[in-house]
Amino acid sequence: MAVEGPDFSLRPLVASVGTSTSAVYSLFGSRGELVEAITVRAARSFVDAQHAVEAEAPAELIPALAHAMRAWAREHAAMFQVVFGRSEDSPAVDEARESTTDPLLHAVTAAIDAGTLHGDPVTTTRTIFAGVHGFITLELLGLYPAEQADALFEALLAAIWRSWTSPEVESAVA
């Protein structure tokens, strides 16, 4: 699944690790339950990569979280597709997917509370995540030339930051 994404074939997978489909089914019950377990674990790994980010100020933390998301996705491209693609959804998968924005939501909330950003925390978080996620998705599809991707990502982050910066902060910087 880490190589082929959510449309993986179970038989080659079990053959590659020297087991049988019946052994996998005895552990997980069904292919759907296996996909659920993998998706939940991958989502937790994505969140863990964000929790590993260390930064004091929101101006540093929010871009650092975006970089952590991108780095994880580039290292685990098929798992990124598994987490954010549509598969056999379950309450556990829905909860795991929802948790993928928790670190960003906490950082955005802190930035709004500090007066650095403006807006509703949930709306602000969702739009920041949508921009970052969209960039990552397009990058993984190969739509950005590799030699331009870093500069494009930085330009995206700068545009996102400008769009949510509080007017007071923006005028102090200008």
In the chain, what are the domains?
A: 35-173 (1.10.357.10)
pLDDT of residue 89: 77
Q: How far apart are the first and last CA of the chain?
A: 49
Q: What is the DSSP letter of 2?
A: T
- 3-state DSSP call for residue 143? coil
Distance (Å, rounded) from C-alpha 154 to C-alpha 87?
Answer: 31
Nearest 5°: phi and psi at 117?
-115, 165
Measured N-to-C along each axis, helices 91-99 and 31-51 cross at an angle, to the nearest 10 degrees, of: 20
pLDDT of residue 169: 66
pLDDT of residue 174: 41
Distance (Å, rounded) from C-alpha 105 to C-alpha 121?
Answer: 7
CA-based nearest residue to 160, from 128, 129, 135: 128
Distance (Å, rounded) from C-alpha 96 to C-alpha 87?
Answer: 13
pLDDT of residue 67: 98
pLDDT of residue 162: 93
**Whether the model pTM is above 0.75:** yes
Side chain identity at residue 1, one-letter code: M
Distance (Å, rounded) from C-alpha 61 to C-alpha 152?
Answer: 19
pLDDT in tens, the chain (174 residues): 555 655 667 777 667 778 777 877 777 777 778 888 889 999 999 999 999 999 988 889 999 999 999 999 999 999 999 999 876 678 999 999 999 999 999 999 999 999 999 999 999 999 999 999 999 999 999 999 999 999 999 999 999 999 999 877 665 544
Q: What is the DSSP letter of 144?
A: S
pLDDT of residue 1: 58
Q: Kindly state the helix (H) or strand (E) to which residue 78 belongs, with its residue range.
A: helix 77-84
Q: b/e string for 109-122 if b means 16 or more Cβ within 10 A?
A: bbbbeeebbbeebe
pLDDT of residue 58: 81
